[in-house]
Amino acid sequence: MSDRKSTPPPGRPTMKDVATRAGVGLSTVSRVVSGKGGVTRDKVRAVERAIRDLGYSRNEFAHTLRTGSARTIGVVVTRISDPFYSVFVGAIEKRAQERDLLVLVASAGDDARENERVLRRMLGRRLDGLIVISHEEADLSFLQTERDAGTPIVFADRPPHGLKADLVVVDNRRGAADAVEHLAAAGHTRIACIAHVAGQFTSEERQRGFAEGMRAASLPTPPELTVVVEDEVDVCVEALREMFSLPEPPTALFTTNSRTTKAVLKASRLLGLQPALVGFDDFELADLLSPAITTIAQDPWAIGEAAADLLFERIAGLIGPERRIVLGTRIIERGSGEIAPRSSGL
């Protein structure tokens, strides 16, 4: 096919190839490529020509191996396909782009071991920094070494286990308490908490906030009115059926995250119930449902921005004790919290 004689070396052209072609030394090419001065115009032009002719582009791996920085940050989330995380990542990418940093995203899934594998894999890349939404059960103490080695790590949404570190969270307790306050103000006294599977930091904080809100409103929190569910509809149907068969059923519900809110809404629909409802986490179309759903909104974009900004400060050399940034939540009143508290059994 192709005769050996004039065939360019196989694979991608390297600086050496460029140097040969341009008839200059290797280091001259390096200087041109890195944009350092101290090269005559003639040679610069010759090198640039050779680069174009050969379609050369710098090997970032050799470059990074030599220089030590990859101009890349890593982001690890549990599921990139979840809107919350994808918006969060979007904000980080935006910020990173402004600084000409690349973002390496990986979702770690629900498995703690997989989580560690992904993180270790990331670490091998000598990232300039790392933003992590950590797995709940994973012990992240192995990251300590990395931090000691100088890679800043910022956690978001929930604190890591086994490690003290920078953290960006929202005020889950306060948000949940706001929800209760809103329902209580509408006259509700039997308010139930439908929480997402236990063990999760956010869920527990929100349950705690719920309890605090109830106490602040001088309302009782009987154990049968707090239930922990998974976000499958049938599970919620069962939970609601049981709850609304009580002698004194609830008249209002508080749900601890949007997946649960949606599942509970579908379950309510199936059971023909329409309790008052306030859900933690805003979600798209909450305003188009009837009734429109009142939510406690957190802002994943803002969380991402805050995490990115904090990380960049650390990368820039900010030292000092770990920081904890707490972002507020905001209640979006749409009506579902103001349904009159009439006793509603099955």
The packing angle between helices 258-271 and 233-243, to 10°, is 60
From CA 59, how far away is CA 74, in angstroms rounded?
20
- Write out the residues near a second copy by the rule CB under 8 A: 11-12, 55, 57-65, 68, 70, 79-83, 85-87, 89-91, 93, 97, 102-107, 109, 114, 118, 120-126, 142, 144-146, 148-149, 262, 265-266, 269, 283-285, 287-290, 301
Closer Cβ to a second copy, 38 or 124, answer by number = 124
**Size of site (CB under 7 A) for DNA:** 26
Q: Does 216 bind DNA (CB under 7 A)?
A: no
- The partner in contact with residue 272, picked from DNA, a second copy, none with C-beta cut-offs of 5 to 8 angstroms by kind, is none
From CA 332, how far away is CA 346, in angstroms rounded?
29
Stretch that binds DNA, among 33-41, 200-208, 238-246, 336-344 (CB under 7 A): 33-41
DSSP 4-32: STTPPPSSS--HHHHHHHHTS-HHHHHHH
- The partner in contact with residue 81, picked from a second copy, DNA, none with C-beta cut-offs of 5 to 8 angstroms by kind, is a second copy
Q: Which residues contact 6 (CB under 8 A, 6 or more apart)?
A: none
- The partner in contact with residue 217, picked from a second copy, DNA, none with C-beta cut-offs of 5 to 8 angstroms by kind, is none
- The partner in contact with residue 245, picked from a second copy, DNA, none with C-beta cut-offs of 5 to 8 angstroms by kind, is none
Shortest approach of a second copy to residue 20 CB, angstroms?
18
Number of H-type helices and E-type strands within the chain: 12, 12
Residue 280 has phi, psi (to 5 degrees) of -75, 140
Closer Cβ to a second copy, 42 or 100, answer by number = 100
Closer Cβ to a second copy, 107 or 260, answer by number = 107
Shortest approach of DNA to residue 173 CB, angstroms?
44
Q: What's the first-to-final CA gap in the chain, in angstroms?
A: 80
In 3D space, the residue among 111, 120, 167 whose CA is nearest the CA of residue 146 turns out to be 120
Shortest approach of DNA to residue 330 CB, angstroms?
45
- The partner in contact with residue 40, picked from a second copy, DNA, none with C-beta cut-offs of 5 to 8 angstroms by kind, is DNA
In 3D space, the residue among 71, 79, 124, 114 whose CA is nearest the CA of residue 96 turns out to be 71
Shortest approach of DNA to residue 40 CB, angstroms?
4
Write the interaction track for DNA spanning residues 36-75; mark x where CB under 7 A is met and - where it is not: --xxx-xx--------------xx--xx-xxx--------
**Range list of H helices, the chain:** 15-22, 26-33, 41-54, 60-67, 83-98, 112-123, 143-148, 172-185, 201-216, 233-243, 258-271, 300-315
Interaction with DNA in 12-31: which residues (CB under 7 A)?
12, 14-16, 24-28, 30-31
Residue 41 near residue 96, CB atoms below 8 Å: no
Q: State both tokens at 40.
A: 């005559």
The residues that touch DNA, with contacts defined as CB under 7 A, are 11-12, 14-16, 24-28, 30-31, 33-34, 38-40, 42-43, 58-59, 62-63, 65-67
